[in-house]
Structure 1
Amino acid sequence: MAKLSAEARAQLDTFKAVTVKHTHLQAVDDQLSLWVEEHTDATHVLLCGPGGVGKSKALKVVAERFTREEPDRFVVPILLLEPIPPDLGPYLRLDYYWQIIDALKEHLLVKELVGNVAHLMAAPKATRSKLGAIDWLKMRAVAEQALIRARVKAVFVDEGHRLMQGDGSHTVDEQLEWLKSLSNRTNVLHVLAGPYALFGFRNTSGQLARRGRDIHFQRYHVNSSEERKAFAGAVQYLLERVPLTCDIDAFLKRWRWFAEGSVGCVGILRDWLVDAVTATLAQGGTSLTEEVLIRTMPHPARRVSLEMEARTGEHKVALHDSEGAKQFQALLKKPGKATNAEVIPTQGSRPRPAEASVAEPASVTLPLPQVSPKPTQPRVGQRAPERDPVGRTSVPSARKTSGCSFIEAIPVTLVQIEEVGVSRFECPTCLAVRDIKPKGDRVKFPSHPRRMTNTPNQGSRWVKRGSVWNLFDS
C-alpha cells in the first residue's frame, strides 16, 4: 500500500494551500469586498456559479483578508459559516442562530450572553426543533446581540441554498424576509454562496429585489481570446508551484486539453493537479507526467454532468437577463392609465388650473359622455356573422397543409442522450417538440407539420440556441 512520507505530505499540503488569483476570482473578490465595506440598504448577496468554479475559495480569501487587515482585536469583520444538512427534516432557523453563537462564544463581549442560552446550546439537535417560542426568541436575541457586540460586517454562508430550504413550512420569500429582518436589526450583510439553484431566489419580489444583490461567478470559455489567456495564466500559475519537476512549456501548449478536463473551472483544475501530485508522490516519483495526468483526469461521465449543469445554469442566467431587459423596455413603451385626479383636456380646449374652473360661468357646456351600445344576445340557432367562402373550396388551406422546413441532423450524440435521459427535441423553426429515437449515433429531426399554437413548451428538452444544442428545463 502506497503511503506518503512526512516530507511528501508537507510538499502536498503546501501545494494544496496555493490560491490562484485568476481574473474571475479577482472580479468577485473586488465586488464582494466593496459590498462588505458599504452595502447601503442591501441585506443579502447571492453568489452563484457552477460547481468547482471557486465560490468557497472566494469566500475564504475575502474573509481571511478582512480578518488580517482588521486592527481592532475586538472586531470580527467576517463570520464564515456552512449550514449543516440536518439528520432529521429540513434545515431549521434555530440551527443558524446556534452556529452564530457557537462561532462567537469565545469573544470577550459575547461570553456573558452565552450563559443565558447555555442549556439550549447543549441540547441535542433532535430536541431543538421542539423548543418553545420563548426559547426561540432567546436564541435569536442572543445571536443578534452577538453579531452587534462583535461588530460583524458580514456573514458568509457557504452552500447557502441549504439555508433557503427553511423548515419545510417557509417559502423562499419568507426565508429572504427573515434574513432581511436579521440584517435590519444588526446591520450585517448576509452573503449566500451556492450552485445555480440560488439564482432562482433573486428578484422574487420588488422589495426583496431592491434589498438584494447578486454575483454570477462564471467559468472560463476558452473560445474567447481574453478568457483563454486568463485560463492559460491560471494553468501556468499552478504548474509553477507543483512540488515536482515538469515541462511547463509543453503542458501550456495543451491548454485546451486542460480546459476540457476541468470544464473551464479553476477549482476543478486545481483538484485534478492535486490528485496527480498525490499519485506521483505516493509512488515515489519526482516529475509530473502526462500519463499521471491522464489517469487522474476527471471521469468523462463526471465531466458530462458538470458541463450540462454549467450550460443549463448559464442559459437560465442569460435568458433571465435578456427577457428581463425586453420586458422592462416593453413596460416603458406602454403609457400608464390616467387616475381620477388627472385632468385630460378635450380637443380644442385649453388647460386651466383648478381655482379658475370655479369662476367659470355655469353656461359652459361639457362634452357628453360616450356610451357604448349594450350588445344584444343572438337568438338560439342564429348564425354568427362571418364571411362565406367564394369560388373553389375543394383546395385545402395552406395553413392546414404547410409543413415545417426544418428536417436537419442534430449534433447530439447517443451518449449525451442516455447520460441525461432526455430524447425530446424542440424544432428551432416552429418550436414543435418531438421524441426522437436515434438511429445508431445519428439524430435527425423528422418531417413534421408546422406548430400553429403559441403555448409555451414545458418539461426537459434539447433546444438550439445559436448553433449549439443545450438541455433546457422549464
Structure 2
Amino acid sequence: MPSTQNFSPEILAANPAEKLAYFESCTVVHRRLKIAYEAVIDAVNNPGGASLIFLFGPTGVGKTTLLHQVVKVLIEQNSRAMQLDCGHIPVAYVEARAPESGSFDWKDYYKSVLIALADPFVDYKLRTGSSRIEGSGSSQRLIKSKANLSDLREDVAAIIQQRRLIVFLVDEAQRFTKMASGRRQQDQMDAIQSMASFTSTRHGLFGTYELLQLRNLSGQLSRRSLDIHFPRYQADCSQDVKDFKRVLKSFACLMPLLETPDLEQHWEYFYERSIGCVGIVKDWLTQALRKALAESASTLSLAHLTPYAPSVSKCMQMATEAIEGEKALLQSESELSRLRQKLGLTVNAPPTATEALLNNPTRSTVNKKHNKTKKRRPGERNPQRDVIGGAPSVS
C-alpha cells in the first residue's frame, strides 16, 4: 500500500528499542478521547460548586492516557504562575494502590500524595520508627512513635494548600471501593470530599464502572460531584465503526516499519479482541510491533498479531463488565416516574385511546368514516326509493 508514515526518516535508522519506545510514546487523539478530555478540562476550570470529578469507563478505554494529557495541558496553562512561584504545583496525580488486606490503606495513600506533591520533609513525616525522650533526670524514658493517620491527613492538607493545587487526580480510583461495608464506602468518599472542600481543590477520580457505586452514596456527595463517561466504541453505530477504523489507520502510520501495515482490513478482529477500547488496541499493537522488530520484518502481519491477541475468555469478561456498566448509566422511564412521584409531580402515564385519537386526526377521520359504513348480508339491496304507481318513465 502507498506510504502514509507519520514519522521522520531518522526513526527508521534507529535500533529496535528506540523504535519501540517511539511508538509507545505516541498518542492517537480520537473522537471519544477528545470529548472526554474537553469535559474534564471544563470541569476543572468551571466546576460550578463541585469538588469531585468522577470519570468512569471500561478497562482499557484510555483513562490513564487521558489523565496524562490533562496533566500535561494544565501544567502548560499554568506555566507562567509556576515561574513566578517555584512552589506552585497546579496539578498532581497518584495511582491508588490495590489493598493487600482487602481493605483500602489510607496511610499508604497519604504517603503517596505527599511524595507526588514533593513535600521536602516527606522522609521525616513517613518515618515509622521515630522515637523521643520524655522527662528529665532519673525519670527520663524513651518513647517510640509511629506515623499517625490523622497527622498524615493534616500534612497532606497543608502541602496541598502550600502548593496552591488546582486539581488532584487519582488513577484506578475504583480501589476506594475495597471496603467491608457500604457505610465505610460512604466514609471513604466523605474523607475525600472533605479534603477537597477544606483545601479548595478539585479531586478527580478516574476508574472503571466499579466507581459508579461511590457517586451517589449521599445527597451531599451527589450535589458536590460531576460525572463524566468515557465510553468505548460501539459496533452497532456506523460513526463509531468509522472512528475505530481511523484509529487503526493512525496507529499503522505511526509504526516505524518500512511498509505501513493495513490494519483497517482486519477491523472486526481488532474490535472483537478489544471490545472497542483503544487502550487495549495500543497495548496489543505494541507487543506485536516488538515481535516484528525482533524479526526485522518490513511490516506487521497477522502472524505478529495473533499470539498477543487477548483471549476469548478475557474478552467475554471485559465485555460483560462494560455492558453492565453502560446499562447502569442508562436512565430508565421507570426511574424517572419514581422521581416525579417522589417529588409530588404528575407522573406521565401512557395516552388513553381517546387521547391517541385526538393526537392522530388522520386515524380519527378514518375511524369515523368506517363507523358510518354498515355491513349487509349477501343479496341485500342497497337502500333506495322504489317507484310507486306504474312503470318508471324513460327519458
Under a length normalisation based on structure 1, what TM-score does the superposition of the two structures give? 0.62
The match for 2:221 is: 208
The structure whose RCO (Cα within 8 Å, separation 6+) is larger is 2
Q: Higher helix proportion, which one?
A: 2
- CA change 1:87–1:119 in 2 (3 A) is farther
The superposition leaves residues 419-457 of structure 1 with CA deviations (integer Å, 9 ceiling, x where unpaired) of xxxxxxxxxxxxxxxxxxxxxxxxxxxxxxxxxxxxxxx
**Aligned-pair CA distance for 1:317:** 2.0
Equivalent of 2:232 in 215, 219, 225: 219
Equivalent of 2:126 in 118, 121, 124: 121
**Aligned-pair CA distance for 1:204:** 2.1
The DSSP-based 3-state class of the residue aligned with 1:171 is helix
**Would the aligned equivalents of 2:173 and 2:206 in 1 still touch at CA under 8 Å?**
yes
Equivalent of 2:335 in 285, 310, 324: 324
> 2: distance between equivalents of 1:204 and 1:131?
36
Under a length normalisation based on structure 2, what TM-score does the superposition of the two structures give? 0.73
- CA change 1:227–1:290 in 2 (3 A) is same
Structure showing greater Rg:
2
The match for 2:56 is: 48
User: Is 1:272 the equivalent of 2:284?
Assistant: yes
The superposition leaves residues 217-270 of structure 1 with CA deviations (integer Å, 9 ceiling, x where unpaired) of 11000221111121111111111101124455x432332232222210001111
- CA change 1:89–1:315 in 2 (3 A) is closer
> 1: distance between equivalents of 2:336 and 2:145?
47
Q: How many residues align?
A: 315
**Aligned-pair CA distance for 1:210:** 0.4
The match for 1:393 is: none
The match for 2:47 is: 39
The match for 1:401 is: none
Unaligned runs of 5+ in 1: 125-129, 336-474
- Give me the identity figure in percent: 27
The superposition leaves residues 148-176 of structure 1 with CA deviations (integer Å, 9 ceiling, x where unpaired) of 11111111101112234358796221111
The superposition leaves residues 314-340 of structure 1 with CA deviations (integer Å, 9 ceiling, x where unpaired) of 12222x5554333223335547xxxxx
Q: Which amino acid aligns with 1:182?
A: M
**Aligned-pair CA distance for 1:146:** 0.6
User: Is 1:294 the equivalent of 2:283?
Assistant: no
**Would the aligned equivalents of 1:246 and 1:289 in 2 still touch at CA under 8 Å?**
no
- CA change 1:255–1:85 in 2 (3 A) is closer
Q: Which amino acid aligns with 1:201?
A: L
**Would the aligned equivalents of 1:244 and 1:277 in 2 still touch at CA under 8 Å?**
no
The DSSP-based 3-state class of the residue aligned with 1:84 is coil
**Would the aligned equivalents of 1:222 and 1:231 in 2 still touch at CA under 8 Å?**
no
Unaligned runs of 5+ in 2: 1-12, 130-143, 347-395
- CA change 1:84–1:266 in 2 (3 A) is same
The match for 1:443 is: none
Q: Which amino acid aligns with 1:121?
A: L
The match for 2:81 is: 72
> 2: distance between equivalents of 1:72 and 1:195?
34
- CA change 1:269–1:179 in 2 (3 A) is same
> 1: distance between equivalents of 2:239 and 2:102?
46
Q: Which amino acid aligns with 1:216?
A: H
**Would the aligned equivalents of 2:99 and 2:178 in 1 still touch at CA under 8 Å?**
no
> 2: distance between equivalents of 1:179 and 1:131?
26
**Would the aligned equivalents of 2:50 and 2:223 in 1 still touch at CA under 8 Å?**
yes
> 1: distance between equivalents of 2:75 and 2:145?
35
Equivalent of 2:245 in 232, 248, 259: 232
> 1: distance between equivalents of 2:307 and 2:254?
21
